[in-house]
Amino acid sequence: LTRSMGMSGPESLAAAANVFIGQTEAPLIVRPYLANMSRSEMMCLMTGGMATIAGGVFAAYVGFLGGDDPAQQLYFARHLLSASIMSAPAAIICAKILFPETEKQDLEKLTRTDTHVGDNLLDAIASGTTDGLRLAVNVGAMLIVFTSLVFMLNWILQHSVGQWTGLNAYIQTSTGGRFEGLTFTYLLGLVFAPLAWLLGTPWHDSMLVGQLLGMKTMINEFVGYGALGEIQKTVDLHPKSVIIALYALCGFSNFASIGIQIGGIGTLAPNQRKMLTELGYWSLIGGSIACFMTATIAGMLL
């Protein structure tokens, strides 16, 4: 990437790391360079994190989509890996279009820093185990909270507004039973259905794929993939719609990730916090566009 696209070494390394370890760990790989990164380089780092997924959640998504069928698990694993790899260069393109490089970086001014990881092997293992447990508990808690929030909003809308206005029966009839009534996911489907259709989704599946895109953007992709797995069990989705949804969901581009990146990268490079807050929404836009680009290409090839 440094020779072919004129990128700096740190942003090239971070772009590759985002594919495998995700938006929270990739900045650690280039930690010595974060403090002196230009706006364009920081945008590339953040957008790459938004457009890819981490290896730690890869198995969970395969389980959501493939169920207990080994053949289906292998099928979706290949597509998930392809989606994350394809989104990395797409994220670079989007980041450089939004914020072209206009500054010349002097790498000689950058210094390496030594990070204390433990006094010995056992201490390092214990520290790593504690950090991993903390991360797993955090992910699990976030998943439970946001999933519960979606169910709560669905229940409130369906059993209050939908029931009082009679919209539940109309929605059930107009969608052929695909939606039970006026719910939060139904509203997301309405808003994002045109986008799903533009990505190549057949129109009769656009509402369902649109709701997944909305859940991914407003909540997170974990909830989106879980919903896609459940939809596959109850609705006869077109295979093209499933693949487009899979590729479009394959990224951390949601509003919560803005806070995660500002908090994570800002801790490693406090002097860049102001820039991080300015680039947060732009990186969300760039990461989302990158995922949509790969989804469109995947749909064209099917």
- Tell me the average pLDDT of the chain: 85
- Read off the pLDDT band of 71 (50, 70, 90): very high
pLDDT for residue 232 is more than 70: yes
Q: What is the pTM of this model?
A: 0.82
| Burial classification of residue 225, based on how many CB atoms lie within 10 Å of its CB (0-12 exposed, 13-18 middle, 19 or more buried) | buried
DSSP per position, 156-182: HIIIIIIHHHTHHHHHHHHTTTSS-SS
Give 178-230 pLDDT, tens digit per residue.
Answer: 778 888 888 888 899 999 999 999 999 998 999 899 889 888 888 899 989 98
Number of domains in the chain: 1
Give 104-160 pLDDT, tens digit per residue.
Answer: 665 545 555 455 556 778 887 887 677 667 656 765 676 677 778 878 888 998 888
Per-residue model confidence (pLDDT) at position 110: 52
- Read off the pLDDT band of 93 (50, 70, 90): very high
CB of 241 within 8 A of CB of 200? no
* Look-up of token digits 């790391």: 17
Region 12-35 average pLDDT: 85
Per-residue model confidence (pLDDT) at position 114: 52
| Residue span of the structural domain in which 195 resides | 2-301
Region 34-54 average pLDDT: 90
Per-residue model confidence (pLDDT) at position 163: 86
Q: Which residues contact residue 188 at a Cβ distance below 8 angstroms, ignoring those fewer than 6 apart?
A: 210, 211, 213, 214, 215, 218
